[in-house]
A and B are shown apart, each in its own frame.
Chain A
């Protein structure tokens, strides 16, 4: 089955810094999503991005499907950006296959 790898596993930054999170996947996919899980456990969908580039405020994402990776950019980090960022792709059975996540800590 499809493998999803995220890097780095952990990231600690000062408030105001920029960051890039990476998601590699082992096969072609029709669906890729980025999620943010806040410290209270709520999972929030950030982007549905099987290809191309999208932006939403300080966050943007780019998926290069032909090279099997996606990047999530966070600019001018705020403490509320802390949490775990998951990348997930859809496998052959139409269910999400999740990466292990990147744990982001933003220090004030």
Chain B
């Protein structure tokens, strides 16, 4: 049974054209995370929600925004994608922040033309 679902799995967009990636979870976890992963690198945390509380990493560009309308869903909005934003975007969830296992979705691979 899928626990963390990401859609779409592959997304192609044009330079500067806004794009939204979605994540849903069936685990009823409090925390949802968005990571960016570029080739041959470890995932990099962009931001996370603890319930409705939004926590932005200091070095996350303003170009990246997020919404969490309810417990199950979280969205990543890239307002004006640049070529450097091409990456794998991973959503994860955990019951608690920090002292708990994180469960990852399959990722969305974003291509920017």
Contacts and interface: CB of A to CB of B under 8 A. Distances in A.
B104 A43 contact: yes
Interface string A42-72: 1111001000000000000000000000000
A96 interface: yes
Contacts of A95: 45, 48, 57, 97-98
A96 B101 CA distance: 10
Interface residues on B, range: 20 to 34
10 interchain residue pairs of minimum CB distance: A94-B98, A98-B42, A43-B104, A48-B101, A41-B107, A90-B98, A94-B97, A42-B106, A45-B101, A41-B88
A59 B37 CA distance: 25
Nearest to B57: A95
A88 B41 CA distance: 13
Number of chain A interface residues as a range: 20 to 34
Contacts of B101: 33, 45, 48
B43 interface: yes
Interface in A25-50: 30-31, 33, 35, 40-45, 48
B98 A42 contact: no
Interface string A67-108: 000000000000000000010101000111011110000000
B43 A43 contact: yes
A90 B99 contact: yes
Nearest to A91: B98
Given A30-B99, A31-B98, 5 more contacts: A40-B106, A43-B43, A45-B101, A48-B101, A100-B42
A49 B90 CA distance: 22
A102 to B, nearest CB: 11
Interface in B62-113: 88, 90, 92, 97-104, 106-107, 109
Given A95-B48, A99-B42, A101-B42, A30 B107 contact: no
Contacts of B88: 41
A16 to B, nearest CB: 27
